[in-house]
Amino acid sequence: MERRNCRMRLEVPDSALELVLGYLDDPRDREAVSLVCRRWYHIDTRSRKKVTIAICYSTNPDRLRRRFPNLESLKLKGKPRAAMFNLIPEEWGGYAGPWVRGLAESLSCLKSVHFRRMIIEDEDIAVLVRARGDKLKSIKIDKCSGFSTNGLMTIARSCKNITTLFLEESSIADDNNNDNRWIRVLALNNSVLEALNFYMTDLRVTPQDLELLARNCKSLASLKISECDISCLIHFFQEATSLEEFGGGSFNDQVGETNKYETVKFPPKLCCVGLIYMGTNEMHLLFPFAASLKKLDLQYTFLHTEDHCQLIQRCPNLEVLEVRDVIGDRGLEVVARTCKKLKRFRIERGDDEQGLEDEQGRVTQVGLSMLAQGCPELEYLAVYVSDITNAALEALGTFSKNLCDFRLVLLDREEKITDLPLDNGVRSLLRGCTKLRRFALYLRPGGLSDLGLAYIGEYSSNVRWILMGSVGDSDVGLLRFSRGCPHLQKLELRSCCFSEHALAIAAQQLPSLRYLWVQGYGASQNGASFLAMTRRYWNIEFIPPSKDTASNEAGDRRGEAQILAYYSLVGRRTDCPESVIPLLPA
Amino acid sequence: MGLFEAQSKVTSSDRSEIESVKTSAEGTPNFSLKDSAVTASETGIRNFPTTMAKQNPPAASQLIMFYGGSVSVYDAVSPEKAQAIMLIAAATAVASRASANKTASVAAATKAPAVVGSDAAAKAAQSPAAPVLTRTLSFLSSSASAEGALVKQPQLASNSSSSLSKLQAELPIARRHSLQRFLEKRRDRVVSKAPYASSKPLDTAEMASEAQTQLI
């Protein structure tokens, strides 16, 4: 009686609740909201704007449409991440067709689509454009294949309102009939384009079309193109006054042609740059505005270690830096000294062949330790090292408190590594970097013991994605690892010694696991041990070893067997090619 | 070690295959199955002499196995687990048949570290296996209600997986596609024209690499 009087229930109308919940964008918050009660579930259903489907076979268009009818933005991923490393057969799957056909008409609010590592055909693009046309704001066809410049022409003709067209690293067939003037058509039909990206594609570029684009799309802030000589873009740079980001192009200095690039002048607001084949002779072109550079991509340049030092010391405002390990420890010292605002840093792997890379082009614990101390704002660090110590990892744990994403690969250039195993260093890093959500560690036999694996399990409290290569001594390590990692959703393992039994058990033990990819394990003759991880909604696919690997390296075993397992609400997929064998559901 | 020890048992073993399917309770302390294991557990296993099998009609979630002259009955086996067990049985049957035909390749497989690479294994995993597995499953599901349904007698291949799993699979570190293409293009350029117009101490190294690439 008394209790009843004290309980005051505040009736919040749905509209108000919807308004409040509308401020929640983070998918994790949204997920939590939908689990509170039925009413909140329905409000979330009606108001959810953005969804990312990490593997397109986990659900189907119909379910998505019913669950979130008012979706505005959809991101779909197809092939496993390993596809970016040429490890997945091209015909593996990830077809955008069914999604486009199932959603283009029915999702009436859809404005933004992003297909990543999928197969999409010209006809699919046509269906999408026919259904959504003017209403589309952003189209991203990211690392996809299966379409041609015809599809681009379709977009160019009909999507008058797109502000973003992103095609980076896609395989796009050149339809010779078009003569590749889709950019021209785009420029004629669209005046609001802000970002156009066909970086790392083989598309041909006509400089005049880019100039037209610059003239007609005054808001063009970001342009990343395929290879096209920079000297042909001089007029474009003059026209594109709003340009803040430019990537691609190319330098092709012939012997005897010393003044080809002297008149190149970049747009005034340019602060994000990545120029292909840029060499020692051309890098001075960046000096006039180096101090305002925020993003710099040197992965595809011909710069030596000393060049990196010369350039980067002029860039105190750098926030994103991508290089190959030619930068060396010397370059890292300069970065640590100069780039105090650095947030994202990627150090890729250079050429292995002797003489093609600078002799000083090696990154080791020396550079890494300096980097940790010098750049406390680091959130993302991916590095290929030639040598490493526990102390360097401890330094990261001590100083890099903002690290969310850390990836370390130990190259096999040196036979002897200074300090292995890395058990204690890894532990310190994980304990120190409490914000870590993504973690990759690719070592060699002896690089991390079973104890080290247990540490990873114990101390990766927030980590959602882990990639490990060549770690651990035995199944014991894997099983201890899988006792921990409470939030691990996606696990990729390569070149480890674990047996099928252990992998199956580990998959069962990891409480949040929803995706598993493994290549290089103690395989039995028939993959049957994996059936020990049978459970409802868990798809298991087996890719048998491929006989024709496209590599020249002797003893290359990229074609080794793979296992892919993921949660799916819609059962086994029906479009497996011959190279993929679904084991379960039967 | 391992839950489904059936795989590592030799064909000639006289014991029922079922007895060797251990649960987490019987397994080594380190392992534990989060999900409910095949409930071939303390409560479910019954071993009947063959004559008694006809007395009780099988319930919907009952799994009955005939092996080596005795019958075992399991209660409350989920459909997924039942399919899994049948798949294991069928797969090992196919594999052992294939390996009987190609003993040489099997021997090679034991030497190759952790590669499901022998022709036998590849064949077992690919299409020949699939129709066998489907046939087995459909046969079983249609005769689920029949009494005394005869399961194909599985031949347990002596599996060398234990030795394979000890050998570490060392795969070369894969390179990102975009970078791979760049490095290939750069090698082409080194061959085709003079690189790095400025005079650098690297000149000698570049000439050496030019020679190298031309040899390829």
- Sort out which chain B residues have CB atoms less than 8 A from A557's CB and list them: 115, 169, 171-172
Contact at CB, A526 and B95, closer than 8 angstroms: yes
> Contact at 8 Å (CB) between A543 and A564?
yes
* Distance (Å, whole) CA A407 – CA A577: 32
């009660």: which residue's tokens?
A37
Residue A25 dihedral angles phi and psi, to the nearest 5°: -105, -35
- Calculate the average pLDDT of chain A: 91
Residue A545 contacts B, CB cutoff 8 Å = yes
Interface test with B, best of A79, A310, A413, A525 (most B CBs within 10 A): A525
List, for residues A501-530, the tens digit of each pLDDT value. Answer: 899 999 999 999 999 999 988 776 666 787
Instruction: Tell me what percent of the residues of chain A surpass a pLDDT of 70.
Output: 94
Residue A583 contacts B, CB cutoff 8 Å = yes
What per-residue confidence (pLDDT) applies to A49?
92
* Distance (Å, whole) CA B103 – CA B100: 6
Neighbours of A458 (CB within 10 A): 16
This prediction's pTM: 0.76
Instruction: Tell me what percent of the residues of chain A surpass a pLDDT of 90.
Output: 77
What per-residue confidence (pLDDT) applies to A172?
94
CA A218 to chain centre: 29
* Distance (Å, whole) CA A523 – CA B117: 9
pLDDT at position A191 over 70:
yes
What per-residue confidence (pLDDT) applies to A360?
81
Once rounded to an integer, what is the mean pLDDT over residues A367-395?
A: 97
Q: What residue ranges in A70-199 does DSSP mark as E strands?
A: 73-77, 112-116, 138-142, 145-148, 164-166, 171-173, 195-197
> Contact at 8 Å (CB) between A354 and A319?
no
Which residues 133-152 in chain A show a CB within 8 A of chain B?
Answer: none
Distance from CA of A144 to the nearest CA of B (A): 13
For residue A140, give the 3-state DSSP assignment: strand
Between A165 and B159, name the one with better pLDDT. Answer: A165
Identify whether A421 is preceded by a cis peptide bond (ω within 30 of 0).
yes
Between A458 and A579, name the one with better pLDDT. Answer: A458
pLDDT at position A387 over 70:
yes
pLDDT at position A143 over 80:
yes
Neighbours of A532 (CB within 10 A): 24
Chain A residue nearest residue B90, CA to CA: A528
Which residues 11-30 in chain A show a CB within 8 A of chain B?
Answer: none
> Contact at 8 Å (CB) between B113 and B169?
yes
Chain A residue nearest residue B122, CA to CA: A544
Residues of chain B with pLDDT under 70: 1-60, 87-88, 90-169, 192-216
Chain A residue nearest residue B38, CA to CA: A532
What per-residue confidence (pLDDT) applies to A184?
95
* Distance (Å, whole) CA A461 – CA A140: 33
pLDDT at position A432 over 90:
yes
Contact at CB, B87 and A528, closer than 8 angstroms: yes
In which band, very low, low, confident or very high, does the pLDDT at A535 lie, cut at 50, 70 and 90?
confident
Phi-psi region of A62 (alpha: psi -120 to 50; beta: other; left: phi over 0): alpha
What per-residue confidence (pLDDT) applies to B96?
59
What per-residue confidence (pLDDT) applies to B137?
32
* Distance (Å, whole) CA B86 – CA B32: 22
- Sort out which chain B residues have CB atoms less than 8 A from A525's CB and list them: 95, 99, 106, 109, 116, 118, 120-121, 124, 157, 159, 161
* Distance (Å, whole) CA A168 – CA A245: 14
pLDDT at position A551 over 80:
no
> How big is the A-B interface in CB pairs under 8 Å?
237
Once rounded to an integer, what is the mean pLDDT over residues A159-182?
A: 88
- Pick the closest to residue A368 from A317, A333, A417, A340 (CA basis): A333
What per-residue confidence (pLDDT) applies to B93?
62
| Cβ neighbourhood burial of A582 (10 Å; 0-12, 13-18, 19+) | middle
List, for residues A348-367, the tens digit of each pLDDT value. Answer: 999 887 677 777 889 999 99
Residue A569 contacts B, CB cutoff 8 Å = no
Contact at CB, A476 and B81, closer than 8 angstroms: no
Residue A568 dihedral angles phi and psi, to the nearest 5°: -145, 140
pLDDT at position A168 over 70:
yes
Nearest neighbour of B169 by CB, restricted to A200, A444, A521: A521
Give just the sign of the alpha carbon dihedral A351, A357, A362, A367: negative
